[in-house]
Amino acid sequence: MEAELLALAGTGATTLVGLMVSDSWTHIRQRLTDFFSRTGSLPEPMGELEASRRQVIAARRAGDDLAVADVEAAWRAQLCRILGSDPVASQELRALLVDLVRATSDRASPDTVHNVVSGGVHNAPVVQSGRITGLTIHTSHHEPPSDMPPDTPTGEMGRDEELPG
């Protein structure tokens, strides 16, 4: 599987597990269920998502980071299978992750703690946190500063002395 799809599966799994313990879960689980139903990858997507959610909640309460990582790894493997067998799924997953991020940010309350989001710009946002009780993700698109140099052309530049004439 190509590296970009592996990264997308990782991003999707991390985001999915983070959203499982967010206040927005009840509002977004149907979108996730629809995605997994459309791909035909899970016999009962809603049940599988809810079972994973219960595992993550129990593991976080117990402070068992390895159990949380196991759930995330299982979803990463599932997403890898989906992305490897369904060429349309990668585009759908990217769009779904962006929509889910927007949906969670729209539901934020004024007193919500804001975390910094990092991760693959080319894939989707990733929340990196030890414990999540509520999740708000804001994304924005920034234009490069106007004082940045133009794109550098490919090929050799400034090495005329080293090149044979």
Q: pLDDT tens digits for the chain (165 residues)?
A: 588 888 888 888 888 898 888 888 888 888 888 888 888 878 888 999 999 999 999 999 999 999 999 999 999 999 999 998 888 888 998 888 888 777 666 555 444 444 444 444 444 455 554 555 555 555 555 555 555 555 555 555 555 566 565
The predicted pLDDT at position 145 comes to 52
- Residue 19 has a pLDDT of 87
Contact call for residues 13 and 76 (beta carbons, < 8 A): yes
| Residue 55 located in a structural domain | yes
For residue 31, the enclosing domain spans: 3-127
Report how far residue 104's alpha carbon sits from residue 134's, in angstroms, rounded to the nearest whole number.
9
Give bridge partners of residue 117 from the DSSP assignment.
Answer: 127
**Which CA distances in Å does 160 have to 149, 151, 154?**
22, 20, 15
Burial class (CB in 10 A: 0-12, 13-18, 19+), 6: middle
- pLDDT at position 142 is 53
What's residue 119's pLDDT? 44
In a domain, 134, yes or no: no
Name the token pair of 140: 């924005």
Q: Are 20 and 135 in contact (CB under 8 A)?
A: no
Look at the chain and report how many structural domains it folds into: 1
* 117 domain residue, yes or no: yes
pLDDT recorded at residue 42: 80
Does residue 108 sit in helix, strand or coil?
coil
Q: What is the pLDDT of residue 85?
A: 87
In this structure, is residue 80 part of a structural domain?
yes
Residue 150 falls inside a structural domain: no
Task: Assess if residue 64 is contained within a domain.
Answer: yes
What pLDDT sits at residue 68? 94
Let me know: does 94 contact 123? Beta carbons within 8 Å: yes
Q: What tokens were used for 50? A: 């809810």
User: Could you give the dihedral angle defined by the CA atoms of residues 103, 109, 114 and 118, in that order, rounded to the nearest 10 degrees?
Assistant: 0
What is the C-alpha R_g of the chain?
20
Decide if 147 is inside a domain: no
Does a structural domain hold residue 10? yes
Helices (H), the chain: 3-20, 25-39, 45-61, 65-85, 89-106
